[in-house]
Amino acid sequence: MLEIKNLHVKLEEEDKVILKGVNLSVGAGAVHAIMGPNGSGKSTLSYVLAGRAGYEVTQGSALLGGEELLDLDPEIRAAKGLFLAFQYPVEIPGVGNMTFLRTALNAQRKVRGEDEISAGEFLKLVREKAKDLQIDAEMMKRPVNVGFSGGEKKRNEILQMAMLAPKMCILDETDSGLDVDAMKLVSQGVNALRDAGRSFLVITHYQRLLDHIVPDFVHIMSNGRIIKSGGPDLALEVEKNGYSDILSEEA
Amino acid sequence: MTAQATRFDAAAACFSGAELAQSFALARAAAKDRVLTLGLPQKRDEYWRYSDPTGLTARAVTPIQEHPLGEAPASFVSVSALKLVFVDGVFDASASDAVDFEGVEISLLAEAPTWATDFYGSLEACGQNPVARPLAALNTALAQQGVIIRVTGQCTKPISFEYISKTNSSDAILHHLVKVEEGASLTLLESGTLGLRGNMVLEVELADCAQFHHVRTQGQDHDRNIVTHLFARLGNEAVLKSFNLTMNGKFTRNEAVIELIGHDAKAHLAGAAIGGTGFHHDDTIFITHQGLRGESRQVFKKVLNGGAVGVFQGKILVKQSAQKTDGYQMSQSLLLDDNSEFLAKPELEIYADDVKCSHGSTTGAIDETALFYLRSRGVPTDQAQALLILAFLADTLAEIDDAGLAERLREVLIDWVPQVRA
């Protein structure tokens, strides 16, 4: 599904190299987790994949379903099935949550040559998905993420994911700012979306999210590279001993 | 010739060869004197520093090559209203609705009903102090077209002025009077283009507990030089709400001079303006608080692209008598390119010691983080920008009390925003 090869990335505005040769292959239907200490480049990886400005790819590639992603505009990447759940979902005053979702969904459908979703069909779909995530009608009427609690914002991200039905989902520290109950709710939402045609890349600092969203593979990232890969046990090892053991092993 | 002399010569030239109209003869003569004493405005004047009045003060209108569309404005077509139509600044009875309206008297300016004799030009004359507005006085002296409205009851539907600009050199001068009697209310809509050049004065007298809602759209043809003046005087517990949407236009200056004379009066002014290359838009506001516990709000936003210029000059004057005044002023601009300019001049002058007055002004670009967020969900850049522009202007639409009218203008904006190009 997602094939990252020897990805090197620096900041556009300064001579700071962040990713120094990332290699990662995520198969269809697989859930991969990336863990790592602060500043290791995890979030940068997610932004570069989604197409945020400010980064320069100096080397390497990232293929989604065999197609190069890095040359595409963010909206085209989205239409091709890439989705990034933001660590800090953005508040957009004045833009209604419903308008936003419908605009996004129809824009993606247009790129894919599909018909626009009818208002009735859309409402039905939103209601159904929102209910599962305990998002009430009042929240849907409000402007995007404005006045939402941390938990509400993350649930709103998962709602978008459910509505847009992407093939490749990247979750950037979705657990940050969540209490235990909210984390369960969000995880249930993600788990409900797991299927053979959809892959996940879960970026997190802590093992606890991975208790709820159980990954097939775990990778440890440090200093712009993936330095160790393994099964779910690797996350438990990090939880027990911290990153220092693994880092020193590598050194 | 010195600039000062030019100012007075230009003023005198406005009256050469033309007798003043018979109606409101005394008021017209007094207004003529004001114009001759003040002279016409020049760019060197403090209140014209950011907006060059040349297009408004030139002797004649320079005809344009391309004929304006001459179409009826569409902003309020779906709104049930009593429609009064002006073509190139002249009332068109055949295109207008018949005037039979309970609780409202409507006359044309030329009919000059007796009750309006002392009213015509009176608020304009007061509004010359402390800031001179010679173009408004010129209007009082010369205007031969306009509508006089007196409201004694609750208007069941709005009155809608529709302006159509048909010829390529129209020079429209319109003067409207509105008097809302005690406890009565009126919604006035205005839409379209006065003329290739237009000078409008709207004088509004609100008796105690009277309500006046005013919603105006200006657009969308570009080649026009427009100045409008709203003069209003509010009695006890009177409410004035005025909203203006401007789309495009080579030169538009909307002045509002509002006096809260009575106690517990409310004046809310709001405006959204959006334009691309060659767009110049100026809001010049003067609010005077005289009565106790008055409340005034100013919420103005402009979206500027392709080197467009936005001007905001907003003043709140709180007299010593106006204790417990609550004044608020906000002017904001969204600059879509590096060449556009927003010039804001907020002024507060306060003589009472127990008042609340706040003001703010911001200028910024499209929020890149929000733009990326929208794009990452599949919304193309153009559409994402349009959404963010609408979101920016949404605060001003929220100032319109009538949700139906606000929604209608939102639809107008949705159609218009994608056309605002550099």
pLDDT tens by residue, B355-410: 999 999 999 999 999 999 999 999 999 999 999 999 999 999 999 999 999 999 99
Give me the percent of chain B exceeding a pLDDT of 90: 84
SS3 B116: helix
Q: Do the chains contact at B373 and A90, CB–CB below 8 Å?
A: yes
Residue A142 clears pLDDT 60, i.e. is over it: yes
Distance of CA B7 to the CA centre of its chain: 25
Of A74, A92, A107, the CB nearest to B370: A92
Residue in B372, B378, B395 nearest the CB of A79: B378
The rounded distance, in Å, linking the Cα atoms of B56 and B60 is 9
Determine contact: A92 vs chain B, CB below 8 A: yes
CA distance A208 to chain B (A): 27
A48 shares contact with chain B (CB less than 8 Å): no
Chain B: residue nearest A170 by CA?
A: B376
A138: left (phi over 0), alpha (psi -120 to 50) or beta: alpha
Q: Take residue A120 and report the two structure tokens written for it.
A: 């009735």
Closest-CA distance of chain A to residue B379, Å: 5
Q: Which of A89, A94, A104 sits opposite B390 (nearest CB)?
A: A94
C-alpha distance from A128 to closest chain B C-alpha (Å) = 20
**pLDDT tens figures, A182-239:** 898 889 989 999 999 999 999 998 888 999 999 999 999 999 999 999 999 998 888 8
Of A84, A94, A103, the CB nearest to B383: A103
**Chain B: residue nearest A99 by CA?**
B387
- Cross-chain residue pair B378–A104, CB shorter than 8 Å: yes
Q: Is the ipTM of this complex over 0.90?
A: yes
pLDDT tier for residue B19 given thresholds of 50, 70 and 90: confident
Average pLDDT score over chain A: 92
Q: Quote the pTM value.
A: 0.90
In single-letter form, the type of residue at position A32 comes to H
The answer to whether residue B1 scores a pLDDT higher than 80 is no
**What pLDDT band is residue B122 in, cutting at 50, 70 and 90?**
very high
pLDDT tens column, B189-238: 999 999 999 999 999 999 999 999 999 999 777 889 999 999 999 999 99
- The confidence score (pLDDT) of residue A251 equals 58
One-letter amino acid at B373 equals Y
Beta carbons of B159 and B191 less than 8 angstroms apart: no
CATH superfamily of A2-250: P-loop containing nucleotide triphosphate hydrolases (3.40.50.300)
Query: Which candidate in B368, B375, B414 is best for mutational testing of the A interface (most A CBs within 10 A)?
Result: B375
Name B172's bridge partners.
B198
**Percent of chain A's residues with pLDDT above 70:** 99
A90 and B383 within 8 Å at the Cβ level: the answer is: no
Structure tokens belonging to residue A190: 């993600």
Q: Cα dihedral angle (A52, A53, A57, A61), rounded to 10 degrees? A: 30
Q: Pick A90's closest partner by Cβ from B370, B394, B395.
A: B370
pLDDT at B67: 62
Q: Is the pLDDT of residue A250 over 70?
A: no
CA angle B272–B275–B276, rounded 5-degree value? 160
For A78, which of B378, B387, B390 is closest by C-beta distance?
A: B378
More confident residue, B11 or B60: B11
Report CB contact under 8 Å: A107, B390: no
Domain ranges in chain A are 2-250
Strand B239-247 versus strand A2-11 pairing type: unpaired
Q: What is the pLDDT of residue A61?
A: 96
Which chain A residues touch B392 with a CB distance below 8 Å? 94
Residues 6+ apart with CB under 8 A from A88: none
Q: Chain A to chain B, count of Cβ pairs less than 8 Å apart?
A: 79
A47/chain B closest Cα distance in angstroms? 10
Q: Using beta carbons and an 8 Å cutoff, which residues of B are at the interface with A? A: 368-370, 372-381, 383-384, 387-388, 390-395
Q: What is the mean pLDDT of residues B158-174?
A: 93
Burial B209-222 (b: 16+ CB within 10 A, else e): bbbbbbbbbbbbbb
Relative to beta strand B295-304, strand B266-275 is parallel
Q: What is the pLDDT of residues A51-63, one digit of tens each?
A: 999 999 999 999 9
Q: Which residues of A touch B384 (CB under 8 A)?
A: 75
Answer whether residue B3 shows pLDDT above 70. Answer: no
A108 touches chain B (CB under 8 A): yes
Alpha helices (H) in chain A, listed in sequence order: 42-50, 74-79, 97-111, 119-132, 137-141, 150-164, 180-193, 208-212, 233-241, 244-250
pLDDT digits (tens, 9 = 90+) for B54-104: 999 988 888 877 766 667 778 898 899 999 999 999 999 999 998 877 889
* Distance from C-alpha of A181 to C-alpha of A134, rounded to nearest angstrom: 12
Residues B141, B28 contacting (CB under 8 angstroms): yes
Chain A nearest-CA distance from B254, in A, is 26
Nearest to B391 among A50, A95, A108 (CB): A95
User: A79-127 pLDDT, tens per residue?
Assistant: 999 999 999 999 998 888 999 999 999 999 999 999 999 999 999 999 9
User: Strands B82-87 and B90-91: what pairing?
Assistant: antiparallel
**How far, in Å, CA of B222 to CA of B54, rounded?**
17
CB contact under 8 A, A100 and B381: no
Chain segment B292-350, per-residue pLDDT in tens: 999 999 999 999 999 999 999 999 999 999 999 999 999 999 999 999 999 999 999 99
Query: pLDDT, tens digit, for every residue of B228-280?
Result: 999 999 999 999 999 999 998 999 999 999 999 999 999 999 999 999 999 99
